[in-house]
Amino acid sequence: MDTKRLTRSRTDAMVGGVCGGLGVYLGIDPTIVRLFFVLLAFAKGIGFALYFILWIVVPREGVGDSTSLDENIQAGAEEIAERAREMGEELRHGVKLSGYQTSLFIGGALILVGIFYLLDNLNIAWLSWLKWDVVWPFILIAAGILLMVRQFRER
């Protein structure tokens, strides 16, 4: 009897292979699983937490059945650390290539998000309207407008 085993995909992986593996295990398109995780990410970060837990706990495709949970956790944690280093290098390289304006844009975005969270946590009465569900769409709209204006100016 051939039993299905949940594994992280090696071939259909965008970050850790969790969504690709879940897609195969559940018999659905991995894109649907990815969209599900994105939606869960907007629910107070539950999608991120669940993804990282599954990345650590679920073994990589091709790993034998004899590996223990401790070995899976160790391998998953090492893989996350390695992937974080790779992504950091890619980001550093991308910022160097795109130059000064990109650094200013990313820095400004980080400062604005930090200010938002600081104001939200101060619980000032007259800022009670300042909620992530209100601010997030404005940030997306502003970023889209900035990108479009930048493209039109370059023409």
Domain boundary among 68, 91, 114: 91
Residues 6+ apart with CB under 8 A from 146: 105
Q: Is residue 1 part of a domain?
A: no
8: DSSP letter? B
Q: Are residues 71 and 87 in the same domain?
A: yes
Determine the structural domain holding residue 62 and report its residue range: 18-91
Same domain, 78 and 143: no
Output the tens digit of pLDDT for each of the chain's 155 residues.
467 788 888 888 888 888 999 999 998 988 899 998 888 888 777 888 888 888 888 888 877 666 677 777 887 788 888 888 888 888 777 666 666 666 677 777 778 878 877 877 787 777 777 676 777 777 777 777 776 777 677 66
Q: For 108-113, which contacts have Cβ atoms below 8 Å and span 24 or more sequence positions? A: 109/143, 112/139, 113/139
State how far the Cα of 41 lies from the Cα of 60, in Å rounded to an integer.
23
pTM: 0.53
Of 41, 70, 91, the position where a domain reaches its end is: 91
Domain count for the chain, please give it.
2
